[in-house]
Structure 1
Amino acid sequence: MQIEFVNHASVLMTHGQVALLSDPWYNGPAFHKGWRLLVETPDDRIRELLSRVTHIWISHEHPDHFSVGFFKRWGDMIRQRGIKLLFQDIDDQRVAYFLRAEGFDLTELTFGKSYELGKDVSVTCFKDEFYDSALSVRMGDTHVLNLNDCAVRTIARAEEVRAAVGTCDILLTQFSYAAWKGGRENRDWREAAAQEKLNNIKIQAEVLEPKTVIPFASFVSFAHERNAYLNDAANRPEDVIEAFLEAPFDLCVMQPGDVTDGRVRPGQNAAAVAYWAAQYDRAGQDLMTYDTVDEDTLRASFAKWRERVFANNSRAAMRLAQVASPIRVLQPVVVHLDDTGQSWRIDPPRGTLDKTDDPADLTMHSESLNFLFSNSFGFDTLGVNGTFEEAREGGFSRAARSISIENLNNLGIRFGPGLFLNPKIVGIFLDRLRGVSARMKRKTA
C-alpha cells in the first residue's frame, strides 16, 4: 500500500490493481474567486496520474473537493479509461446528476456499507454534519482514514467514528481553518480557529490511534483583495510539526509527488516544510478582484432566486416562520454594496428586493450579491470565501437565518409541514450560528 500526495486534499492510494484518487482540484480559483491553490498541478502530471487511476472518490460538493473544471477538462480520459467515480448517497442529487450527465461510471456509497474495489481493497463512507463525508480505506493490512474537512472536534464525535470504522493506521486530516472568521480586526478569532484545528488533530489521534498522521486539505490561500487578510493566522505545516513534537504518532508532511507507506523518510518533513514555505510566501501576489454588477442584472438574478425559493418552500410557511418563530428566521436583511453605494433590503417571504437607507447587516461587492442570487449554494460560498464584512452586530447571524434559505433547501430542509423532521441538521445549523455570534460579540467587547 502506498499513498502519493498530489495537491491540497488529493492523494492517490494504491494497492495491487487498485489506485484510488481523492478530491481532484488541480487548477483555477474556487469559492467565487476566493481561494487559490498554493501551487497548481501541471497538465502532464495530471495526464500521467490518470493513466494509473482506477477509482476517484469525491468527499463532498465544495469546489476544492468537487472541481467541475477538472471533470470537464479530463472527462474524455476518465471515460476512455473506465475510471469509476465514488460519491456519497444523499438526497441532494446535484453532484450525482452532473456526473451521470457527463457519462461517468458513478457509484453512490451508502453510509456505513463496505464496498469492494478489488482484491484486498474495500472502502466505507460515513457522513459528517452538513456536506462532508469521510472514507475508511482498507488496503491489505493497512487501514487509512481520510477525514478531509470532517468536523471531528470532540472526544464523543471521535468515538462515534471509531465505533463506525475502528482505529486506523494512517490518518489524513485538515490542519487549518477554511472560512470567514469575523472581519479584519478579529485576528483573535482566526488564531483561535487555527488552534482549534490543531486541537482537533490531537483529539482524533487520541481516539483513532493512528501510527501516522498526514496533515493535508489546507494547502490553499485566501486570494482576493477582500479576503487576503484571512491568511494572517492560518496554520502552516511547521506549526503542525511544532504542535506534535512529543506526539505518540509520526507526522508525515508531504509535498506534490511524495510517496509514503506510512513511514516518514529522513529529511522528508524538512524538505516539505521548505517547499510549502516558498509557496506561502508567494501566495499574496496577484490578488483577484470583482467587477461591478449593474442594477438591472442584480434584479434579474434576484427574480430567479425568488422563483427557486418559492418553488422549494411554502410561502405561507415562510411568512408564518417570519412572524412566529422564536429564533427570528427569514427576517428582512439589508446588504450594503460598497462598490455602488446602494443598500438593498431583501425580504424572502415577501419576495421583495428594495433600495433602502436602513442600517446594513452585511457589506459586500455587487458581484458577491449577484453570485448569491445566481447560485443555490451562493450563501455557503460567501461564508467560506469571506469577501464580505459584518456591518453591525448580529448582521451575519441575521443573514444566515434568512438569505441562506437555499443552502437549507440543499440539505433537505424546506419551509413547510415537514420542516422539523430533521432536528439534528437544524440543531447543527443553529449551534454554528451561536458560535459565530459569540465570537463577534467577543470582538465588539
Structure 2
Amino acid sequence: MSPSKVKLLAHASILIEVDGKKILTDPWFFGTAFNDGWELLPKPDLEAIKCDINDVDIIWISHEHPDHLHFPTLKWIAGFLKKDVEIYLQENNSNKIFKALKKLGYKSFISMPHLNKIDITPNVKLACYAHRHLDSSLAVFVKSNFWLLNINDTELNEHDTEIIRKKFGTPTVLYNQFSIAGSNGVEADLKLDSTSILDKMRQHHESLNAKITIPFASFVRFSRCDNIFINNYSNTVFDAKNLFQESGLQLVFQSIGGDYLEWQDTNEYPFNCTKIDEDGQKFFASEVIDEKDTYNYTIVSTEEVKKEIEQRTCDWKKVTNPLVWKLIKLDPVFFRIIDWGNEVWKVDFAKNTFTRASATKKFDISIASQPLWHAFKTPFGIQTLGVSGRYKFAERFDNVPKKWKKIRILSSLYNAEIYLSISGLFSRQIVAWIWKRRHGLIYQILQQLRRFQGAQ
C-alpha cells in the first residue's frame, strides 16, 4: 500500500487518502454559517482546494450543522466532482438530508449504521459512532489497525469512549475540536466553556490512548457586532498545545492548506510528524485575524417576527400530545429587542401570542430583531441562535433559565423529526432508530438531563 495521509483543508474539513480512495469530510470552504454569525478563519484557497478534491470518491458529513453541512459549498463542488461520488452520513430516523443533497445533483448515498464497519476497499473500512440525535464521529481502519477517529463536535463522554475502545480498540490519531462553538447566552459561562473544551480534548486523548491529536473544527471567528465579544473567550491551538505538553501528551499542529501528514504504518506515528508540526507552528503564529464586521444589518418588522413566532409555536403544538404540551408548560419569555428602541416584547406560548410588554417589565433575553426572527423562521433556528451566540440573557441569570432550555429541547426534537406524541415516539422508525443507538444513548440522554437540572 502507498502511504496513508491526511490534509487539513479548512475548519472541520480534512482530505483522507488511503489505499487509492479519497475521502472528504464536512466541506465548508467559503461564505458564512449560523445566520451569518460565523466566518472561516483563515479563508482557504479555493483554487488549491479544487485541485485537491476534484477526484474525491467519498464525502462524509458528520451532522447537519451548517459548518459541516454547508449547502453553498456542496453546491459549488458538485459542479466539478466525479458524478459517482458517494455521500456517507450516519443512519438516522429521517432522510431529509439525502433529499436535500439530491436536489444539488448528488446521486449516491450511504447510511452508516451506528458502530458497524463498512468496507470501502479490501484493506480499508469506515465506521460511524452516532451521538444523540445529531452528531457523529468517523472511524477509519486500515487492515487491522484503528488508524483515525474524526471526533469533530461530538461530545463523547467516558461511556462513549469506553464503547469505542471495546468495539474498535485505540486509534492512532484523533482530529478534535479545540474551542467553543457558540454561547448559551450567559457570558460568565464562556470562560468555563473554553476551559472545558480543552479538558475534554485531553480526556479523549487519554481515555482512547491515542498517539497524537490534531486540533481542528474550530477555525472560525464570531463575526457580527452582537457576537464578536465571544472571540475574547476562544481558545487558540497554542492553548491546546500547552495543555497537552503539561500533560505529557502529543498534539501536532497541522497548517490549513499545508502538507499532508503521512503514515507508512498506520499503527505508528506519521513519518513527517515533526516537520508538519513545525510548519504548523509557523503558520498559526503568523495568522492575522480580521476583526471587521461588513454585515448588512436589517431590522425585521414586528409583523414578520410575530408571524414566525406564532407559526412555529403552532407547529410545535400540532405534533405534541396535548397532555404532554400541558406538562411541558412553556412559560412566557420576554425579549428586549435592541433595534426596536430596546422595547420589551412577550412571547406567550400558552396563548400563542407575541405582544409588547410594559416599559418596566424585566426582560429575559436581549437580542436584535433579525436573529429573533431567524430563530423561529427555520426548524433549526433556536439551535442556530445558540451556536451563533447572537443574544444574551439578562444579568440576573447565573444559568440558562429552564424555560429557555425547554424551548431548545422542543425545537431540537422537532428539527430531528422526533415528536412528543404516542405516534411520534413509538413509530416503527423511531423505535428501530433508538434500538440501533442503544449503545451509549442512555448515558448521552443522562448527560443532557444533568445539564437541564443545572438550569435556573
TM-score (norm 1): 0.88
Q: Which amino acid aligns with 1:415?
A: L
**What displacement does 1:399 show?**
1.8
Structure 1 residues 354 and 203 mapped into 2: Cα distance closer, same or farther (>3 Å)? same
Q: Specify the SS of the correspondent of 2:339.
A: coil
1:223 corresponds to: 223
- Which runs of structure 2 are paired with 1:22-421 in the superposition (5 Å)? 22-78=25-81, 80-104=82-106, 105-140=108-143, 141=145, 143-153=147-157, 155-180=158-183, 182-184=185-187, 186=188, 189-245=189-245, 247=247, 249-255=249-255, 256-261=257-262, 262-279=270-287, 281-286=288-293, 288=295, 290-322=297-329, 330-340=330-340, 341-357=342-358, 358-391=361-394, 392-393=396-397, 396-402=401-407, 405-417=410-422
CA RMSD of aligned residues (A): 2.4
Identity over aligned residues, as a percent? 24
**What displacement does 1:231 show?**
1.4
| Inter-partner Cα distance in structure 2 for 1:320 and 1:212 | 48
Q: Specify the SS of the correspondent of 2:6.
A: strand
Is the CA contact (8 Å cut-off) linking 1:4 and 1:257 kept in structure 2?
yes
| Inter-partner Cα distance in structure 1 for 2:409 and 2:336 | 17
| Inter-partner Cα distance in structure 2 for 1:308 and 1:17 | 48
Q: 1:222-279 deviations in whole A, cap 9, x for unaligned?
A: 1111111111132111112211225555322111222112345435334323322443
Q: Which amino acid aligns with 1:93?
A: N
Larger mean CA deviation between 37-46 and 64-73 belongs to: 37-46
Q: 1:26-45 deviations in whole A, cap 9, x for unaligned?
A: 11111111111102223312
| Inter-partner Cα distance in structure 1 for 2:205 and 2:213 | 8
Q: Which amino acid aligns with 1:92?
A: S
Is the CA contact (8 Å cut-off) linking 2:333 and 2:347 kept in structure 1?
yes
Q: Specify the SS of the correspondent of 2:33.
A: coil
Is the CA contact (8 Å cut-off) linking 2:365 and 2:391 kept in structure 1?
yes
| Inter-partner Cα distance in structure 2 for 1:57 and 1:93 | 15
Is the CA contact (8 Å cut-off) linking 1:253 and 1:273 kept in structure 2?
yes
Is the CA contact (8 Å cut-off) linking 2:146 and 2:172 kept in structure 1?
yes
Structure 1 residues 132 and 108 mapped into 2: Cα distance closer, same or farther (>3 Å)? same
| Inter-partner Cα distance in structure 2 for 1:11 and 1:49 | 11
Q: Specify the SS of the correspondent of 1:39.
A: coil
| Inter-partner Cα distance in structure 1 for 2:454 and 2:56 | 41
Is the CA contact (8 Å cut-off) linking 2:405 and 2:455 kept in structure 1?
no
Q: Which amino acid aligns with 1:111?
A: H
Is the CA contact (8 Å cut-off) linking 1:362 and 1:396 kept in structure 2?
no
| Inter-partner Cα distance in structure 1 for 2:251 and 2:112 | 30
Q: 1:95-144 deviations in whole A, cap 9, x for unaligned?
A: 22212333421111111111111231110101113411011111344511
Is the CA contact (8 Å cut-off) linking 1:18 and 1:121 kept in structure 2?
no
Do structure 1's residue 11 and structure 2's residue 18 form an aligned pair? no
Q: 1:139-176 deviations in whole A, cap 9, x for unaligned?
A: 344511111111124x3332122123221111111111
**What displacement does 1:435 show?**
4.1
Structure 1 residues 315 and 73 mapped into 2: Cα distance closer, same or farther (>3 Å)? farther
Structure 1 residues 344 and 418 mapped into 2: Cα distance closer, same or farther (>3 Å)? farther
Q: Which amino acid aligns with 1:36?
A: E
Gaps of 5+ in 2: 263-269, 427-433, 435-440
Is the CA contact (8 Å cut-off) linking 1:25 and 1:65 kept in structure 2?
yes
1:326 corresponds to: none
**What displacement does 1:338 show?**
1.2
Gaps of 5+ in 1: 323-329, 438-445
Count of residue pairs brought into register by the alignment: 424
| Inter-partner Cα distance in structure 2 for 1:264 and 1:214 | 14
Structure 1 residues 212 and 404 mapped into 2: Cα distance closer, same or farther (>3 Å)? closer
Q: 1:323-365 deviations in whole A, cap 9, x for unaligned?
A: xxxxxxx112122211103322223343222222242211100
Q: Which amino acid aligns with 1:97?
A: K
| Inter-partner Cα distance in structure 2 for 1:420 and 1:333 | 27
| Inter-partner Cα distance in structure 1 for 2:208 and 2:448 | 26
Q: Specify the SS of the correspondent of 1:251.
A: coil
Q: Specify the SS of the correspondent of 1:171.
A: strand
**What displacement does 1:413 show?**
4.0
1:441 corresponds to: none
| Inter-partner Cα distance in structure 2 for 1:320 and 1:435 | 20
Larger mean CA deviation between 191-200 and 242-251 belongs to: 242-251
| Inter-partner Cα distance in structure 2 for 1:242 and 1:264 | 21
Is the CA contact (8 Å cut-off) linking 1:372 and 1:378 kept in structure 2?
yes
Q: Which amino acid aligns with 1:38?
A: L
Is the CA contact (8 Å cut-off) linking 1:147 and 1:171 kept in structure 2?
yes
| Inter-partner Cα distance in structure 1 for 2:334 and 2:96 | 30
Structure 1 residues 343 and 395 mapped into 2: Cα distance closer, same or farther (>3 Å)? farther
Q: Which amino acid aligns with 2:103?
A: A
Q: 1:195-226 deviations in whole A, cap 9, x for unaligned?
A: 22222122212221112211111111111111
| Inter-partner Cα distance in structure 2 for 1:336 and 1:343 | 4
**What displacement does 1:288 show?**
3.6
Is the CA contact (8 Å cut-off) linking 2:177 and 2:216 kept in structure 1?
yes
| Inter-partner Cα distance in structure 2 for 1:286 and 1:305 | 30
| Inter-partner Cα distance in structure 1 for 2:91 and 2:48 | 31
